[in-house]
Amino acid sequence: MRNILFISVFTITTLVVNAQKKIQLYYDTAQMRKEILSHIPVGTDIETAKEIMKKNHFKIEVMKMGDASYRQEFVKVPLDYIFCRRNKSGLSLIEKSWAVAIIYKENKVVDVKNELWLTGP
């Protein structure tokens, strides 16, 4: 029981502290995954995760298994997830897109997958 209480307090404290910090965008996918998980740890409520991503200028799409709009190309196995994407273009002709899948089960985050997409000539 004490472990559950500790984990709950730790998760809430982490969310409150990290909610005030912005998500840094990294080109390295491992570093980006670590950044996302520092703001949205496993066990976070999915609604909280959506709000954090929205506040960091990510566009959000909910992907539920069985829905007509479900896309499986990003998450290769059928799982419920929120697909988050943020684009950034600068002076170069290459647009950078950070794609993040926040996988959830029973409304709690269970994993994060991410990719960096580069688009240009």
Locate the domains of the chain by residue range.
2-119
Cα 50 to chain center, whole Å? 8
User: Who's near 60: CB < 8 A, 6+ residues apart?
Assistant: 50, 53, 54, 82, 83, 84
Type and span of the H or E element at 61: strand 59-63
pTM, rounded to two decimals: 0.76
Residue pair 40/102 in contact by the 8 Å Cβ criterion? yes
Return the SS3 of 82.
strand
pLDDT one digit per residue (tens) for the chain, 121 residues: 565 655 555 555 555 554 568 999 999 999 999 999 999 999 999 999 999 999 999 999 998 886 766 666 667 777 899 999 999 877 778 889 999 999 999 999 999 999 998 887 7
